[in-house]
């Protein structure tokens, strides 16, 4: 039954895309009304929860700064550069992996990367960098160069039953066309890197960028790449870099 559902979904997606120009779109006034909801974002509560979790399991901002070997006043700018290569990990990592290691260092069992509590914690940690500009450096070292290259490859690679890639919906030539009332966003202009984790209204929950990627893969009938894997972190590096220089504003609010 599940596979039938997937086929249906895939066909629906495909037909929607091919007829996109004939579909009606949401008006700008409507969109502005939804944008206004950012004013009272339910995810503010989840960020608050994440703050409490970080203080309980990771020694709060100070504990995090110490763990990352930066002073507390440099912490926001440092966080604005994630995912980044950390010598302690010997690889490029996202904030979720940092939070896990921090929890373990503090003698706690780490939350799974897919645990909603982990999403809350990641959202809080990233919100420490609010108003900072994204300063990811994809040329900082060979590891970052490799992560970026892997991310780009993963983004462009056609996979799964319908041969779709991330690029199928987010390349420059389809950006702005309407898929089921919603315009396909340019991930850079849209500041994806600065607005995830975000509250998803369709799910009534907070989600991270990597978790959102998983949703995309699922809808596109691709095998879902695990959170925290090199490909997933690479994707986050690649997409975050598109919004380099844009201000971080966590939590975001998405449809």
**Structure-block tokens of residue 54:** 């970080």
7 binds another protein (CB under 8 A): yes
179 binds another protein (CB under 8 A): yes
Nearer to another protein, 108 or 181 (CB): 181
Nearer to another protein, 78 or 119 (CB): 119
- With contacts defined by CB under 8 A, name the span among 65-73, 81-89, 180-188, 226-234 that binds another protein: 180-188
Nearer to another protein, 22 or 73 (CB): 22
Nearer to another protein, 183 or 230 (CB): 183
Which of 2, 21, 39, 172 binds another protein (CB under 8 A)? It is: 39
Which of 105, 168, 177, 219 binds another protein (CB under 8 A)? It is: 219
Query: What are the φ and ψ backbone dihedral angles of 253, each rounded to 5 degrees?
Result: -135, 120
158 to 13, 45, 139: CA distances (angstroms): 15, 38, 26
Name the residue among 215, 217, 213 with its Cα closest to residue 239.
Answer: 213
- With contacts defined by CB under 8 A, name the span among 93-101, 137-145, 173-181, 238-246 that binds another protein: 173-181
Virtual torsion, Cα 114, 239, 128, 134, nearest 10 deg: 170
* Interacting positions 122-141 with another protein (CB under 8 A): none
Which of 38, 48, 60, 168 binds another protein (CB under 8 A)? It is: 48
Which of 38, 44, 91, 130 binds another protein (CB under 8 A)? It is: 44
56 binds another protein (CB under 8 A): no
71 binds another protein (CB under 8 A): no
Nearer to another protein, 17 or 110 (CB): 17
- With contacts defined by CB under 8 A, name the span among 13-21, 73-81, 103-111, 236-244 that binds another protein: 13-21
186: left (phi over 0), alpha (psi -120 to 50) or beta: beta
Residue ranges that bind another protein, judged by CB under 8 A: 4, 7-9, 11-13, 15-16, 19, 24, 26-27, 29-30, 33-34, 36-37, 39-40, 42, 44-46, 48-49, 169, 179-182, 201-202, 204, 215-216, 218-219, 255
């Amino acid at each position: 039954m599940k596979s039938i559902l997937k086929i249906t979904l895939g066909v629906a997606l495909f037909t929607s895309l091919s007829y996109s120009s004939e579909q009606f779109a949401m008006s700008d006034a409507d969109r502005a009304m939804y944008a206004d909801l950012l004013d009272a974002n339910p995810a503010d509560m989840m960020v608050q929860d994440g703050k409490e979790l970080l203080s309980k399991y990771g020694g709060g901002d100070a504990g995090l700064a110490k763990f990352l070997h930066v002073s507390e006043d440099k912490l926001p700018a440092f966080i604005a550069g994630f995912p980044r290569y950390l010598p302690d990990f010997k690889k490029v990592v996202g904030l979720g992996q940092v939070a896990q290691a921090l929890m373990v260092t503090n003698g706690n069992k780490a939350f799974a990367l897919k645990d909603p509590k982990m999403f809350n914690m990641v959202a809080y940690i990233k919100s420490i960098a609010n108003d900072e500009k994204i300063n990811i450096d994809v040329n900082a070292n060979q590891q970052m160069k490799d992560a970026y290259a892997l991310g780009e490859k993963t983004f462009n690679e056609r996979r799964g039953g319908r041969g779709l890639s991330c690029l199928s919906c987010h390349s420059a030539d389809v950006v702005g066309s309407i898929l089921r009332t919603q315009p396909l966003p340019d991930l850079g202009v849209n500041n994806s890197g600065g607005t995830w984790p975000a509250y998803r209204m369709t799910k009534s929950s907070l989600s991270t960028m990597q978790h959102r990627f998983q949703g995309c893969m699922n809808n596109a009938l691709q095998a879902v790449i695990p959170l925290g894997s090199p490909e997933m972190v690479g994707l986050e590096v690649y997409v975050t870099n598109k919004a380099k220089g844009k201000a971080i504003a966590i939590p975001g609010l998405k449809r």
